[in-house]
C-alpha cells in the first residue's frame, strides 16, 4: 500500500510550486522518458510551468514513439539555471549520479526542493520527500497509482507513456518483477490507446542499423566463462572506433539482453569502455539467485536483482579482471572462472 501521508504531501508541494523541473537519467530508458512525459502532462493540466531536461545523454534513438518528446530540452543539469525553479521532481533515479555523471550533481541540486519518486530498491532517499516503492515494476506504475489516487484524468498521451514505461521495465511482462497488478494496470491504460498494436510494433521494432552493428561487435567480443554460465561482452573504445560506432549510438542494455536470450548463460554483462578507462556495465541475470545488486554495489552501481548497472574505472583489461573476481566472490557456486 502507498503511504497516503507522503502522496498528499507530494501533491501539496506540486500545488505550491510554479516552475517545476523534470529530467531523464543517463542512458534514459522508456520508464525514465515515459514517466517524465506523463507527469509533465499532468503538471501542465494544473497550469504549472514544466521543464524536462534530457540530461547527460544526447541519444534520441528510442524516443520518437513518445508523444511530445520534442518538448524535452537538450540540456544537462549543470546547464540548467535552478534559481528560477521551485521544485525538482526526480523520477526513476536511485541517487544523484542518475541526474548527471558529468559533475557533482548532489551539490548542484542542494538548494532546490526535491521530490524523489522511484522503484529501485537501492534508492538513497535523497529528496526532501521520497516515494520509493521497490515492489512496483517501474516509476510509470507508481505514477499510475498516484494519478489514480489524485483522480487525474488519464489522456491518450499519458496512457501511451505509462504503458511503455511499465511494459519496458517488465521486459514485456517477462521479467521476474512482473506482477498481475502491473499487467492489470496496463490493461486499463490500453483502453485509452487507440492503436495499441501499431504503437507496440513501432516500439519493439525500432533498432537503428548502428545498434545492430554494435550487437554484432558484442557477439564477436563475447567471453564465455564459469563453465558456460556467464557471458561477458567486453568492448573497448578502440573496438568502437574501428567499427565506426560512436558511444551515443550504441545500446548496452540491448546487448546484455540479447546475450540473455541464451538459456545457458545465467549472468550476461555488456561492459563497454565509453570514455578512456571508464567501463560502463549493463548486467542481466536469468535468475534472482544471481543477485546482481551484489556486484553493482562493488562498482558504484545500482539496480535490481536481475537487472543492474555499474561502472569500473580502470583499463578495460584490468576492469574485466576485477569483474571476473567480483563474480567469483559473489557467486562461489559458479565454480572457477
Residue 31 interacts with Mn ion (CB under 5 A)?
A: yes
Give the nearer residue to Mn ion in terms of CB position, either 13 or 92.
Answer: 92
Residue from 56, 95, 141, 169 touching Mn ion (CB under 5 A): that is 169
Long-range contacts of 260-265 (CB under 8 A, 24+ apart): 260/284, 260/285, 260/286, 262/231, 264/228, 264/229, 265/224, 265/228, 265/229, 265/230, 265/231
Cell of 31: 520508464
DSSP state of 334: G
The stretch among 50-58, 133-141, 145-153, 255-263 that binds Mn ion (CB under 5 A) is: 133-141
Residue 166, H or E segment:
helix 156-169
Give the nearer residue to Mn ion in terms of CB position, either 27 or 233.
Answer: 27
Cell of 159: 496512457
Please state, in angstroms and as integers, the Cα–Cα distance from residue 11 to each residue in 5, 6, 164, 230, following that order.
10, 9, 24, 45
Residue 141 interacts with Mn ion (CB under 5 A)?
A: no
Residue nearest to Mn ion (CB): 31
Long-range contacts of 181-187 (CB under 8 A, 24+ apart): 181/141, 182/136, 182/137, 182/138, 182/141, 185/141, 185/144, 185/145
Supply the minimum distance, in Å, between the C-beta of residue 312 and Mn ion. 23
The stretch among 96-104, 162-170, 259-267, 283-291 that binds Mn ion (CB under 5 A) is: 162-170
Distance CA 337, CA 323 (A): 11
Supply the minimum distance, in Å, between the C-beta of residue 307 and Mn ion. 9
Supply the minimum distance, in Å, between the C-beta of residue 186 and Mn ion. 15
Residue 56 interacts with Mn ion (CB under 5 A)?
A: no
DSSP for 122-163 reads: T----SSEEEE-TTSS-HHHHHHHHHHHTT----HHHHHHHH
The stretch among 169-177, 183-191, 220-228, 257-265 that binds Mn ion (CB under 5 A) is: 169-177
Supply the minimum distance, in Å, between the C-beta of residue 253 and Mn ion. 12
Supply the minimum distance, in Å, between the C-beta of residue 84 and Mn ion. 29
Supply the minimum distance, in Å, between the C-beta of residue 169 and Mn ion. 5
Residue 118 interacts with Mn ion (CB under 5 A)?
A: no
Give the nearer residue to Mn ion in terms of CB position, either 121 or 337.
Answer: 121
Helix or strand or coil: residue 211? helix
The stretch among 88-96, 129-137, 199-207, 241-249 that binds Mn ion (CB under 5 A) is: 88-96
Residue 95 interacts with Mn ion (CB under 5 A)?
A: no
Residues that bind Mn ion (CB under 5 A): 31, 92, 138, 169
Amino acid at each position: 500500500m502507498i503511504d497516503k501521508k507522503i502522496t498528499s504531501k507530494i501533491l501539496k508541494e506540486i500545488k505550491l510550486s510554479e516552475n517545476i523541473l523534470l529530467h531523464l537519467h543517463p542512458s534514459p530508458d522508456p520508464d525514465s522518458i515515459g514517466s517524465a512525459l506523463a507527469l509533465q502532462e499532468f503538471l501542465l493540466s494544473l497550469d504549472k510551468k514544466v521543464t524536462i531536461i534530457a540530461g547527460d545523454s544526447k541519444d534520441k534513438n528510442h524516443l520518437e514513439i513518445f508523444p511530445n518528446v520534442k518538448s524535452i530540452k537538450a540540456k544537462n543539469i549543470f546547464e540548467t539555471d535552478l534559481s528560477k525553479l521551485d521544485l525538482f521532481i526526480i523520477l526513476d533515479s536511485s541517487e544523484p549520479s542518475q541526474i548527471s555523471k558529468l559533475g557533482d550533481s548532489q551539490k548542484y541540486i542542494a538548494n532546490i526542493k526535491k521530490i524523489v519518486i522511484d522503484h529501485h530498491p537501492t534508492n538513497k532517499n535523497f529528496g526532501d520527500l521520497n516515494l520509493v516503492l521497490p515492489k512496483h515494476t517501474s516509476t510509470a506504475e507508481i505514477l499510475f497509482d498516484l494519478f489514480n489516487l489524485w483522480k487525474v484524468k488519464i489522456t491518450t498521451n499519458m496512457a501511451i507513456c505509462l504503458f511503455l514505461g511499465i511494459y519496458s521495465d517488465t521486459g514485456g511482462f517477462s521479467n521476474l518483477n512482473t506482477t498481475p497488478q502491473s499487467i492489470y494496470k496496463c490493461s486499463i491504460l490500453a483502453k485509452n490507446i487507440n492503436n495499441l498494436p501499431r504503437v507496440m510494433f513501432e516500439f519493439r521494432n525500432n533498432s537503428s542499423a548502428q545498434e545492430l552493428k554494435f550487437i554484432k561487435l558484442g557477439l564477436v567480443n563475447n567471453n564465455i566463462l564459469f563453465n558456460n554460465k556467464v557471458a561477458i561482452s567486453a568492448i573497448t573504445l578502440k573496438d568502437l572506433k574501428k567499427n565506426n560506432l560512436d558511444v551515443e549510438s550504441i545500446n548496452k542494455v540491448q546487448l546484455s539482453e540479447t546475450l540473455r536470450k541464451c538459456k545457458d548463460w545465467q549472468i550476461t554483462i555488456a561492459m563497454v569502455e565509453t570514455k578512456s578507462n571508464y567501463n560502463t556495465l549493463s548486467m542481466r541475470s536469468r535468475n534472482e539467485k544471481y543477485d546482481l545488486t551484489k556486484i553493482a554495489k562493488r562498482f558504484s552501481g545500482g539496480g535490481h536483482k536481475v537487472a543492474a548497472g555499474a561502472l569500473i574505472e580502470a583499463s578495460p583489461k584490468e576492469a574485466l579482471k576485477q569483474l571476473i573476481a567480483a563474480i567469483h566472490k559473489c557467486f562461489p557456486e559458479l565454480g572457477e572462472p
